[in-house]
Amino acid sequence: MSPVLHSSARQLADELSGGNGSWVVGPLKGYHHETYVLSLPGKTRVVKIREPRGEILWFDRRCFRSEEELLCALSGYISRIPGIIDMAGMRVQGFIEGEVLPMRRWTGSRVPDVVFDQIVDLFRQMVPITPDMLAVERRCERYDRPENGDCDGFLERLIVFMENHVYHRNRAEFGPIFEGLGIGDEAFDQLRKSVSGLVERDFCLLHADLHRNNFILDPLDQLWAIDWELAMMGDPLYDLATHLYLMRYPADQERRMAQEWSRAVHRVRPRGASGWEQDLERILDFKRAQSVFTDVIRVSLSLREGRDGSGCSPVRLLSATRKLQSILAAAAGPLGLTEVPSRSRIAAALVR
């Protein structure tokens, strides 16, 4: 019988636990990383040991080389983020005890004021943090970083990443599906026309992935923000748009979040909120377009792999078709689609 091969994250967790498997929990559910939680008896330290999954597709542009290095640099600026602990000469993240927001049984997509107000406060804490304040190694080269305030340039870099690293890089495998849905190279030309002309805003730190599973409420109902791997420096309005797009607030709470965000940002750095009312919808259009390219691939892979063993069953295919039709309808304007593909057309493209 062949020996069981463990990931380096699992091997490190076993090593730090002294081989006591009861101290290790995992792997935890997560797309980007294989993660284990290590509890050390007699000590207050509960830490996360993790490593990037090698087989996944990355759909997001990353700015900082090390999330742990960034979290160290943010200590003292952001109040409730994972702490960093040195174990055997290695930096690991402390584990936040609590529940992610979807585990709380609230009504619909509305969040209570105790959570809402803390999210606004998190935005307020990020706005003063500028690129020159953090001595953290970056992934992107200097020529690939727009000048402060160049919000058009900032969004263009995200479009270039999506065009090159999501669409063209996966075109050999998924090109026929995009073609079947009526999406080609011209969609990016139309997208650039749809979102250009943004007002200049002062750049600051962005989390860039603030959704319900990246918020943890501890037993005292204090909100913690986790998973800072996609953090970047850029247009603060992009962080709000991403948050609104991912959170799916009810309409009245979405409006309130935008207004509270603008007040909080304006008090700290007025130029960070310039023109937000006219630009928010443009950036949301970018998020809608981005979702088309990422979700077409993700949905196709989920059907192919059949993670629950059902494969491309009629039920799964119908669910995937409905999801993609909704996403395509939302992005039809910014992508210049003359018509939204019918469900039968989407299903045929997925089956092929």
Domain assignment present for residue 119? The answer is no
The model's confidence at residue 140, banded by pLDDT at 50, 70 and 90, is: confident
Provide CB contacts within 8 A for 281, sequence distance 6+: none
The domain total for the chain is: 1
Instruction: Please compute the mean of the pLDDT values over residues 268-288 and round it to a whole number.
Output: 97
For the chain, the C-alpha Rg in angstroms (whole number) is 21
Domain assignment present for residue 32? The answer is no
Domain assignment present for residue 286? The answer is yes
Domain assignment present for residue 16? The answer is no
**Segment 170-204, tens digit of pLDDT:** 999 999 999 999 999 999 999 999 999 999 999 99
- What is the pLDDT, as a whole number, of residue 92? 80
How far is Cα 35 from Cα 155, in angstroms, rounded to an integer?
31
Domain assignment present for residue 178? The answer is yes
* Higher per-residue pLDDT: 284 or 17: 284
Residue 319 structural domain:
151-199+275-351
Domain assignment present for residue 282? The answer is yes
How far is Cα 215 from Cα 274, in angstroms, rounded to an integer?
27
- What is the pLDDT, as a whole number, of residue 313? 79
Domain assignment present for residue 345? The answer is yes
Is pLDDT of 227 > 80? yes
Instruction: Please compute the mean of the pLDDT values over residues 33-57 and round it to a whole number.
Output: 58
Both tokens of 82, joined, read 């994972």
- What is the pLDDT, as a whole number, of residue 144? 81
pTM of the model: 0.86
Instruction: Please compute the mean of the pLDDT values over residues 68-97 and round it to a whole number.
Output: 87
- What is the pLDDT, as a whole number, of residue 29? 61
Asked if 255 and 301 count as a contact pair (C-beta separation under 8 A), the reply is no
Distances (CA, A) of 212 to 103, 150, 247: 10, 29, 6
How far is Cα 19 from Cα 11, in angstroms, rounded to an integer?
9
- Residue 288 Ramachandran class (φ > 0 left, ψ -120 to 50 alpha, else beta): alpha
Is pLDDT of 219 > 80? yes
SS3 at position 101: helix
Is pLDDT of 53 > 70? no
- What is the pLDDT, as a whole number, of residue 31? 52
The model's confidence at residue 20, banded by pLDDT at 50, 70 and 90, is: low
